[in-house]
Amino acid sequence: MTGRVRPGWGVLALATLAVLFFVAPLLGLLARAPWSELGQALASPEVRTALRLSAVCSGAATLLSVVLGLPLAWVLARHPFPGRSAVRALATLPMILPPVVGGAALLLAFGRRGLIGQGLYAAFGIRLPFTIWGAILAETFVAMPFLVITAEAAFRAVDQRYEEAARSLGAGPWTAFRRVTLPLAAPALGAGTVLCWARALGEFGATITFAGNFPGRTQTVPLQIYLLIESGGFDQAIALSLVLVGVSLAVLVLLRDRWTSAL
């Protein structure tokens, strides 16, 4: 890498500013952190409830995303059909859609008087909004596109000729998928799953709109952080924020170079 031209001073200054802009909030968080009372802040019952709820909801949302998203990614990657790009655009829309709008849309679809929710309630007595299922659904809605996008790329990257080789050796389509395609795509699929989970864990807008803010039921960590800041519980809010920062950093380390290549 010798002989590279050094960027101009102006560019360098702006780039440094950008880095500072990213780092400053983190530094602010660390500087104000109540390090000595961190354990105590995290031990309070309501904080622990929120942490547990977040773990359950994000886990369930990730599971749901894998169950629904992997087949979708597979179809998008391997089975051309008319309107495929439209379907792909729809599947990735929640990545760009403001989460609050997503939550409102979920409410209109799955609410008690919603398009589908009405029928669900009438037929099975199932009510989704303002329940833990609502929180899981909201997180899935926002997080699944991350899995679909990365998994489609992962499936695409597997040379189809390996599947043909497997077929010619007596493996049916499912065995070929399970023993050849899946293992070859596994690292990228893992990265996509982690990315999806991280997004579900941090979900706020869609959840609060669709599922509300009920402690123990729909009040996940991000919602509680918001509530704590509103009500002056800064120490606890910072403690919880640090937990999420820690998770994010762990994800970043875990994915390292996959972060960009998988997307």
Partner 1 sequence: MTLALQAEVDTVVGQRQVRASVEAASGEIVGILGPNGAGKTTLLRTLAGLHPMRRGRIVLEGEVLEDTADGRWTPPERRPVAVVFQHLLLFPHLSVLDNVAFGLRSRGSALGAAKRQAIELLTAAGLDDRAASRPAQLSGGEAQRVALARALATDPRLLLLDEPFGSLDAQARLVARRHLTEQLRSHRGVTLLVTHDPVEAMAVADRLIILEEGLVVQAGTPDEIRDRPRSRYAADLVGLNFVRGRGDGTRVVVAGGGSLVTADPQDGDVLVVVHPRAVTLSGHQPQGSARNVWVATVESVDLDLDGDRARVRTMGAMPLVAEVTTAAMRELELSPGAEVWVSVKATEIQSYRA
CB of 156 to partner 1, least distance (A): 17
Question: How far is it, in rounded angstroms, from Cα 226 to Cα 209?
Answer: 14
CB of 81 to partner 1, least distance (A): 18
Query: In the structure encoding, which two tokens stand for residue 122, read together?
Result: 């009438």
Scanning 79-87, 166-174, 211-219, 241-249 for contacts with partner 1 by CB under 8 A, the matching segment is 166-174
Indicate the residue among 37 and 159 with the shorter CB distance to partner 1.
Answer: 159
**The only residue of 179, 234, 246, 250 in contact with partner 1, by rule CB under 8 A:** 179
Query: In the structure encoding, which two tokens stand for residue 30, read together?
Result: 């660390």
**The only residue of 2, 36, 168, 260 in contact with partner 1, by rule CB under 8 A:** 168
Cα angle value 215/218/222 (rounded, 5°): 85
Told to check if 175 binds partner 1 by CB under 8 A, we report yes
Burial 162-201 (b: 16+ CB within 10 A, else e): ebeebeeeebeeeebbeebbeebbeebbbbbbbbbbbbbb
Scanning 18-26, 41-49, 171-179, 250-258 for contacts with partner 1 by CB under 8 A, the matching segment is 171-179
96 phi and psi, to 5 degrees? Answer: -105, -30
**The only residue of 78, 167, 217, 258 in contact with partner 1, by rule CB under 8 A:** 167
Which residues of the chain form contacts with partner 1 (CB under 8 A)?
Answer: 159, 161-162, 164-172, 175-176, 179-180, 183-184
